[in-house]
Homo-oligomer: A and B are copies of this chain.
Amino acid sequence: MEWSIQQIAREAGTTSRTLRHYGQIGLLAPARVGRNGYRYYDQTNLVRLQRILLLRDLGLNLDAIARILDAGTPDTREALHGHLRWLEQERDRIDRQIASVRTTLRKTERGEALMPAEVFDGFDHTRYKDEVIARWGEDAYRSGDRWWQGLSETEKQQFQQAQRDIGRDYAAAHAAGRPADAADVQAVTARHVRWLGTATQQTPSRTYLVGLGDMYVADPRFAANYGEPGDGTVEFVRDAMRVYAERHLTD
**A232 at interface, CB cutoff 8 A:** no
Q: Is A142 engaged at the interface, CB distance under 8 Å to the other chain?
A: yes
User: CB distance A120 to B42 under 8 Å?
Assistant: no
**A144 contacts which chain B residues (CB < 8 A)?**
11, 46
In the A-B complex, the 6 residue pairs with the closest CB atoms: A13-B124, A43-B219, A43-B218, A13-B126, A57-B143, A91-B94
Establish whether residues A1 and B47, one from each chain, have CB atoms under 8 Å apart when the complex forms: no
Specify the chain B residue showing the minimal Cβ separation from A10.
B126
Task: For A101, list chain B residues within 8 Å (CB).
Answer: 58, 80, 83-84, 87
Question: Which residues of the partner chain B approach A91 to less than 8 Å between Cβ atoms?
Answer: 91, 94-95, 98
Is A123 in the interface zone, CB < 8 Å from B? yes
Determine whether the beta carbon of B43 is less than 8 Å from that of A123: no
Q: Nearest CB to that of A114 among chain B residues?
A: B51
Q: How far is the CA of A40 from the CA of B245 in the complex (A)?
A: 27
